[in-house]
Every structure is written in C-alpha cells, then in structure tokens.
Structure 1
Amino acid sequence: MAGDRLPRKVMDPKKLASLLRNGAEGTLVIDSRSFVEYNSWHVLSSVNICCSKLVKRRLQQDKVSITELIQPASKMKVEAEEHQDVVVYDQSTRDVTGLAADSFLSILLGKLDSCFHSVSILTGGFATFSSCFPGLCEGKPAAILPMSISQPCLPVANVGPTRILPHLYLGSQKDVLNKVLEGLCCDVTPGKEFCLKEK
C-alpha cells in the first residue's frame, strides 16, 4: 500500500550538480514539467516526461510504460529493472511528504519506483537548481509568454500549445495569433481547435 512505503528519497541540488560535473554515468535525470517549460530551460541531459492530463491518465491505466516515455528522448539505453539511478524534478517541490497521491508527480514517482533501482526527487525542483547552478542548465530562461485559453492536455493554466507528438502541437486561435511557436504552420478546421504542425 502507498501508506506503507518508506520515506521518499531526496537529492540535494549540490549533489546533482556534482553528478553532472562528473559525467553522471548511469544516472537518468527526468524533468516532469510541461513541454513548454522544458523546451525553454532545463537541467543538462535531462529527459522530459511532460505533466499533462493525457500522460497522467495513460500512466494510471498502464496504457504506456515508463520506458516508452523515456527512451525516445534519452541518449542512454533505458531498461526497466536495471540498476539505474533516477533523479526527478518538477518546478519547485521542496516537501515531498506534501504531494497529493493523485498528483502527476506522485503517479510518475510510483511508476518509476516499480521500474528502477533508486528514484530520488530533487529538493526545490528546477527553480532552486537553476538559480544555484545556471551553468548546468540548457536553454534560456523564457520571458513571459502570451497566455492561451485552450490547454486541454495540461493540468494547470500553462502557456502556449500542447505537444501531442514530436512534431505535432495542439493550441488555440490565440496561440496562433500570438505566434508562440514560430516555424509552425496552422491546420484550421472551422469550429475545432487549431492543430499546429512543423513546416
């Protein structure tokens, strides 16, 4: 039962920084924020499992495995049951005991626990890590992006279109008008949401 579990492992940002500086061989770093946040700025060599209602539901119903979510984006071979250490971070979680059981992060951590040797959560999340170690992050801190009124796949009010497939995004008319993703074309069907695709 979930209540009988041992306390969740945590990792200090300094320890993750040390692992990254020393090559982090065998350590898989997972970013559990939205695709837009990850695409903007993330920890070096991290892999994104975006926090969406769609991914959450598929994980809960066992319609997708953790390795299926990780492998396409990972530079290392990922195999369940292997003695591989995993570090997960979100935007700013400090106290893992306060996570709701039905939150995306709790569900993701539970699935990772069943597949990997050691799973830790980064204390303070990306907010703390990026402020202490900006040189160990890729991308650029994003300016405030225009808000979108249509975010069917995101659990909270986030900005911009939602990634559906590697080259397919779902967004609203406002996303298109604001040109959130440049280099995309728009497939418009009257009365339906806009479908953004790479040119």
Structure 2
Amino acid sequence: MPGPTDLLRGGPGGPLVIDSRSFVEYNSWHVLSSVNICCSKLVKRRLQQGKVTIAELIQPAARSQVEATEPQHVVVYDQSTRDASVLAADSFLSILLSKLDGCFDSVAILTGGFATFSSCFPGLCEGKPAALLPMSLSQPCLPAPSVGLTRILPHLYLGSQKDVLNKVCAPQSWRQSSCTVWPASPAPPPSPSLTS
C-alpha cells in the first residue's frame, strides 16, 4: 500500500487516486490530486451492466493514466471503509473495485477511507473541512424551518407549498402557476387552493 506522500505523486509511476464518494463530498474536501468517480445509483447500474467503462468515468486529466501502457497502480477511497472484504457484493465500492481490478495491475483501498486519512494528514487534502457535514445516503430528510421564497431567477422562485399558499409571501399570480415536486410517489393530493 502506498504511503501518504505517494498519493500525491501523480502522473507516470504514481498511483491513480480515486475518490468514490459523492460529488458534493469530493468538492468539499478530498485528497490532493485525486479524481472523483461519483457513487450514484446510475453510475453503479451502468458499471454493472457494462454500459460505461472506467476510462469514461475518469476525468480527462487522469485518462492518460488509464490508457498508459506501463503497469498502473490505483488507490481507491470512500468515506470510511476499513476492510473491503466485508463490503456487500452489490455496493458501489465493491463493484468499482472489481471493475478496476480488470483494468489495472494493482488496486488498493485506503484503509479507514477519507475520514481516517484526512484526520491523520489534513495537509495532504484540499478543500474546506469546516464546511463538511456528516453525509449519508441513508439519512432521512430532516425538517427545516422555512425561510420563505428564494429568488433563483427573475421569474423563478424556490420554496415550499406553505410558502406558495402564504398570501403575504406570494402574490396571487404566483400561486396560479406554481409547480409542486414530491420526492416519492404516490404524490399527495393537490391542495384545494391550487386547483382550478
């Protein structure tokens, strides 16, 4: 397993460092010179079905390492995995590791993931660690206080159904042309005040 300084030695001879966390987590804080392969359901399914290759998922800056003819080494990390042998066979990281094994001479997982690495070597990470919040795909959506309508564009506002129905907050013309988006189906019945 490469040492921490080896992770920073990109290019020929150095390992390709792959961050398999979400795009938001990667953009917040990641290992220097790492590339992100986002752990989404779509990417997972396309990898499983062979509809996308590792080379297609890797950012253009790192493609030369994937297409190189000399032996290549890869280090993969997620947020906190300590042992790849306990991963579920259908987990994103397990699928990614198996696909990488077919493309590279040596594939290793960073023990303890980014959580352990960043606490031991914060100087070898880039981004804003203070901005990180614990993120989990299994966390429920927690209620948040409504701050009212937020203007996105001159004609587009973001808010809740409660905001749209608030006569002080939203004029009648807005309430007549609102669009409600629900995270799961079946959708609840429309509010009587929004139907014509």
Q: Is the 8 A contact 1:41 1:142 kept in 2?
A: no
Coordinate RMSD, CA, aligned: 3.5
Unaligned runs of at least 5 residues, structure 2:
159-177, 183-196
Candidates 18, 22, 28, aligned match of 2:5: 18
Kindly indicate whether the alpha-carbon contact (under 8 Å) linking 2:87 and 2:94 is maintained by their aligned counterparts in 1. Answer: yes
* Residue aligning to 2:34: 46
Match of 2:71 among 83, 106, 112: 83
Relative distance call for 1:61 and 1:30 in structure 2 (3 A) is: same
Number of aligned residue pairs: give it: 156
Match among 45, 48, 63 for residue 60 of structure 1: 48
2:93 is the counterpart of 1:105:
yes
Shift of 1:113: 0.5
**1 or 2, which has the higher helix percentage?**
2
Pairs within 5 Å for 1:1-199: 11=1, 15-20=2-7, 25-26=12-13, 27-72=15-60, 74=62, 76-79=64-67, 83-143=71-131, 155-157=137-139, 190-192=179-181
Deviations 1:31-65 (A, max 9, x none): 00011110000000000001111110111111111
Contact 2:77 2:109 in 1 (8 A): yes
**Cα distance in 2 between the residues matched to 1:177 and 1:48:** 35
Report percent identity of matched pairs. Answer: 69
Is this contact kept in 2: 1:94–1:124, CA < 8 A? yes
Q: In the TM superposition, what is the alpha-carbon distance from 1:83 to its structure 2 partner? A: 1.6
Larger Rg: 2
Moved over 2 A (4+): 20-26, 71-78, 142-147, 154-159, 176-179, 184-193
Change (3 A) 1:67 1:158: farther
Q: For residues 40 and 60 of structure 1, do their structure 2 counterparts lie closer, same or farther at Cα, with a shift above 3 Å needed?
A: same
CA distance in 2, matches of 1:54, 1:138: 27
* Aligned counterpart, 1:165: none
Amino acid at match of 1:135: G
The verdict on how the C-alpha distance between 1:177 and 1:81 changes in structure 2, with shifts beyond 3 A counting, is farther
Look up the match of 1:168.
none
Provide the TM-score with structure 1 as the length reference.
0.65
- Of Structure 1 and Structure 2, the greater strand share is in 1
C-alpha distance in 1 between matches for 2:55 and 2:157: 32
CA contact (8 A) 2:11 2:65 kept: no
Question: 2: CA distance between counterparts of 1:123 and 1:92?
Answer: 8
For the residues of structure 2 that align with 1:178 and 1:93, how far apart are their CA atoms? 40
